Amino acid sequence: MFGYYLELALRSLKRSPGLTVLMVLAIGFGVAASMTTYAVFRGVSGDPIPWKSSRLFVPRIDMWGPSDSGHVGEPPDALDYTDAMALMRDHRAKLQSAIYLIAPSVIPSGAGRSPIPVDGYAVYGEFFPMLDVPFLYGSGWSADDDAHQAAVAVIGDKLNQQVFGGGNSVGKTIDIEGKDYRVIGVLADWNPQPIFYDVLDTGGYGGGDGPGVFVPFQRAVAVNMSNSGVNLCRVEPTESGFVGLQHSNCIWIAYMAELDGAGAVQSYRQYLDDYAREQRTAGRFSWSPNNRLFDVPAYLEHEHVVPSDTKVSLLVALGLLIVCLVNTVGLLLAKFLRRSGEIGVRRALGASRRAIYAQFLTEAGMIGAGGGVLGLLLTGLGVLGVGVVLPARLAHLARIDPSLLMLTVLVAVVATLLAGIYPTFRASRVQPAWQLKTN
């Protein structure tokens, strides 16, 4: 029976090609606009580590106090060196790491080869298992390496290709800022978006292939590997250079901790408050504890990582889709009621209202399928062209994948079927006797 309804739908669509094309265009453009903006919104608002984000936390300690009007009651967005080292030393989390951005030059071996500038991070060895960082070869370093400021490094796959030509380079030596480091690990493809472990420096997004190199935090500090990220100071350091930054209350260090379970989270909150009270007793703070502890989703929301204009754009695009559907309802209503005579004859010959529903919803579904195919093409063009209106760091997050393609067709078909419900209802209520008498 479904084949019969398809045949009737095809005949009807061929009888009014202009109207059919108009409805397909309306659905196609509406779906493409909404799916393109959804692709961008999905890219910028996705959970970068969904299997673990509820167990990863970012602590914030107010080391500046309420007199700093820039906070509006909130602690600073990062930690200073004193507090970060205190948290690492006390080690109240299952896994934890202080983090700061570095931008060293890597000097390849061989005459005539130019230094390679790379972006990377100084971290503790627990950073890698805490964030489930994938490795092609080797692994991260140990707690003993952290304690002894070992000259070891984990490098990205791209840097591995540039310096060593690819392959397993574990055990080889790499020159970073004029000093030799032993490669103990090579990363697989790893560049989570948003960059949840360093929102302060990146704004949450970054292009390229991800970090190129990681070195032990204390090793980087010992060799004066300067912070290449944001330095925010309430009072200028009394000493110059990188050492002065360490002795100041300037914020420049990101921090992440893994906590398993509500009990661990509550204990860590209590620890942060107790630490702040100790600092007040010692005379370093003169205010009551004002700390925060965010899990990854809450932290990204707090830092407004998802641009507000992408949310507005998504709402506008959904509004456009609704307008297109309203227009489609009107066109389908006019098309179906124009065939009242045909409906009356079918009803007089014994067709049930259910059969009329099936016939006309099949026709609406075919229009939706046509709009879905057009929507696929326009969505592809839209995703490729978002770089014209959005910054490159956001535009590259919008990707076409099978789930987006299937969703585009599904939205087109379902939306058109919904748009066809009222016109079909009106068509099924045509009175056969009245139509036969009129004709």
Express each pLDDT in 218-242 by its tens digit: 999 999 999 998 898 888 888 888 8
Looking at the fold, whether 241 and 329 belong to one and the same domain comes out as no
Q: Would you place residue 69 in the very low, low, confident or very high pLDDT band (cuts 50, 70, 90)? A: very low
Cβ proximity of 123 and 95 under 8 Å:
no
Last residue of a domain, one of 258, 286, 318: 258
Looking at the fold, whether 71 and 194 belong to one and the same domain comes out as yes
Looking at the fold, whether 103 and 33 belong to one and the same domain comes out as no
Residue 10 placed within a domain: yes
Looking at the fold, whether 232 and 364 belong to one and the same domain comes out as no
Q: Would you place residue 435 in the very low, low, confident or very high pLDDT band (cuts 50, 70, 90)? A: very low
Looking at the fold, whether 69 and 18 belong to one and the same domain comes out as no
Q: Would you place residue 171 in the very low, low, confident or very high pLDDT band (cuts 50, 70, 90)? A: very high
Q: For residue 309, what pLDDT is reported? A: 63
3-state secondary structure 99-126: EEEECCEEECCCCCCCCEECCEEEECCC
Residue 342 placed within a domain: yes
- Measured from the Cβ of residue 312, the count of other Cβ atoms closer than 10 Å reads 11
Average pLDDT taken over every residue of the chain: 84
Q: For residue 340, what pLDDT is reported? A: 61
Looking at the fold, whether 18 and 104 belong to one and the same domain comes out as no
Least confident residue range of 259-263, 368-372, 425-429: 425-429
Residue 318 placed within a domain: yes
Least confident residue range of 139-148, 265-274, 307-316, 369-378: 307-316
3-state DSSP call for residue 91?
coil
Contacts 24+ apart (CB under 8 A), 316-319: 316/37, 317/33, 317/34, 317/36, 317/37, 317/38, 318/34
Residue 67 placed within a domain: yes
Share of the chain above pLDDT 90, in %: 40
The rounded distance, in Å, linking the Cα atoms of 80 and 285 is 14
Note the Cα 58 to chain centre separation in Å.
18
Looking at the fold, whether 130 and 41 belong to one and the same domain comes out as no
Q: For residue 215, what pLDDT is reported? A: 97
Helices assigned H by DSSP within 178-288: 199-202, 217-222, 241-246, 262-281
Cα angle, residue 162 at apex, residues 158 and 165 outer, rounded to 5°: 100
Residue with tokens 């964030």: 131
Residue 7 placed within a domain: yes
Q: For residue 412, what pLDDT is reported? A: 85
The number of CA neighbours under 13 Å toward the Cβ of 115 is 11
pLDDT at residue 10 is higher than 90? no
The number of CA neighbours under 13 Å toward the Cβ of 242 is 13
Looking at the fold, whether 104 and 149 belong to one and the same domain comes out as yes
pLDDT at residue 416 is higher than 50? yes
Which run of H or of E encompasses 399?
none
Looking at the fold, whether 97 and 160 belong to one and the same domain comes out as yes
Residue 322 placed within a domain: yes
pLDDT at residue 414 is higher than 90? no
Looking at the fold, whether 81 and 186 belong to one and the same domain comes out as yes
Q: Which residue type sits at 223?
A: V
pLDDT in tens, 288-339: 999 999 999 899 888 887 766 666 777 788 888 888 888 888 888 877 766 6
pLDDT in tens, 248-296: 989 999 999 999 999 999 999 999 999 999 999 999 998 899 999 999 9
Looking at the fold, whether 139 and 237 belong to one and the same domain comes out as yes
Cβ proximity of 250 and 68 under 8 Å:
no
Looking at the 3D structure of the chain, how many domains does it have?
Answer: 2
Which structural domain range is residue 332 located in?
Answer: 2-47+307-438
Nearest to 222 by CA among 198, 246, 201: 246
Joined tokens for residue 409? 């067709």
Q: Would you place residue 94 in the very low, low, confident or very high pLDDT band (cuts 50, 70, 90)? A: very high
Joined tokens for residue 361? 């919803």
The rounded distance, in Å, linking the Cα atoms of 294 and 87 is 16
Nearest to 86 by CA among 63, 57, 107, 109: 63
Residue 213 placed within a domain: yes
Residue 56 placed within a domain: no
Which run of H or of E encompasses 138?
strand 135-138
Last residue of a domain, one of 258, 276, 294: 258
Looking at the fold, whether 245 and 328 belong to one and the same domain comes out as no
pLDDT in tens, 392-411: 656 666 677 788 888 888 88
Last residue of a domain, one of 220, 241, 258: 258
Joined tokens for residue 363? 């026709």
Joined tokens for residue 75? 């602690």
Q: What is the pTM of this model?
A: 0.73
pLDDT at residue 55 is higher than 50? yes
